[in-house]
Chain A
């Protein structure tokens, strides 16, 4: 059996941290993506402006720079807030900005921007007749959104969503740079201590490979399910 020199349990814990990080950031990015896409399509100029600014800026800056900015900058902001609260209101408040939270927030924010673009395209692919029909039946805007738009756009959004998820999963490795003890960090420390880089990085790489390959199969299955009953003209032609 593969000898991990006693780092096995730590690596396993690290893998769990990686998966948790990925799923929490996915949830945040889906939320932000829906919000961004609906503000882009809302017709409200201010909402459109904010959402466009968000997606443009985020997609133009490297994830690592964002992460460093949030992690170090977030702590400085919390520090000044706690100084302010103490000086003015005598409230003793302190909050340690930890790498996990910064990781979730940054990855969520970054992929929220990508998701927003995916969802925007998917919303536009929904037949306008469907929306008209919903309005004719007296659905409110919120009901139209939730009952008509979201279920129908999901089918169009799935391929893009799957791609984003794959990239997101691999981005979680970056959080080890700001000090989160995920499996990359554990492997790096073990590799340095034991002077065996292949020995520790290859298993970690395999775990990532397993996760991405598994996701690929799952997304394929979801795609098939979502497209049940839809004539696939392009594939038969």
Chain B
């Protein structure tokens, strides 16, 4: 460690190695929570989005109800319902599920995954619906069956159209994950709240954590821009 940094850390009351460790653990928790819920949400969203575009109202209707409910209410309330609600399900405390859901991490993960899945379903649905009709006609003319059309044509081209909106959803999820701290999870915001209450130093604690979130956001924006460039390579003007 350079001298000036060691000196600076020694003079400091708040940003000691111990608090840094706390922030680090919070960062790990936040990233785990966001990453896992995004993965689960995306995996559920793709089949749901396909069901949502079905003509049969008995198939698309329930998916619509699900997305409408989860997009129309605040995530905080969904988290409260799941976090406090699971413990109240009769008999759950005797099953092995209780071992899992006793930790606040898993109810939060469930709430976040359900929430992001609802938003992602609508994003993908929008992309599927806007597939040019001519492309589907062409695929049919070539004798592709439904599954093949989905796999080779509709989903890949929908992915290209969805990636912009999905990047917003990912950043939104990162920011929403801050509310995990209200159900006693020590994520980044939770760490900042602990440090604030220990030192009564709101500016140090929260501005520092805000900078971490800002950095994470910039990294995500950058990564998605790279991905978009990659996916939309064929649309780039010649010579650029």
Contact = CB atoms under 8 A, between A and B. Distances in A.
A63 B181 CA distance: 13
Interface stretch (B16-24, B97-105, B199-207): B199-207
Given A57-B214, A198-B88, A69 B207 contact: yes
Chain B interface, DSSP helix/strand/loop, else mixed = helix
Nearest to A215: B72
A69 B192 CA distance: 10
A204 interface: yes
Interface residues of B, number: 37
Interface in A19-56: none
Contacts of B81: 197-198, 201-202, 205
B176 interface: yes
A113 interface: no
Interface string B207-230: 101100110011000000000000
Nearest to B176: A62
A64 B179 contact: yes
Contacts of A192: 84
Interface string A54-75: 0001011111111011001101
A146 interface: no
Interface in B160-204: 174-179, 181-182, 189, 192-193, 196, 200, 202-203
Contacts of B43: none
Given A196-B88, A197-B84, A208-B72, A73 B77 contact: no
Chain A, interface size category, equals 35 or more
Contacts of A204: 77
Interface of B: 69, 71-78, 80-81, 84-85, 88, 174-179, 181-182, 189, 192-193, 196, 200, 202-203, 206-207, 209-210, 213-214, 217-218
8 contacts: A61-B214, A62-B176, A63-B178, A64-B178, A64-B181, A65-B192, A69-B206, A201-B77
Q: Top 5 nearest A-B pairs by Cβ distance?
A: A197-B84, A173-B74, A72-B202, A62-B178, A62-B175
Interface of A: 57, 59-66, 68-69, 72-73, 75-76, 170-174, 176-177, 184, 187-188, 191-192, 195-198, 201-202, 204-205, 208-209, 212-213
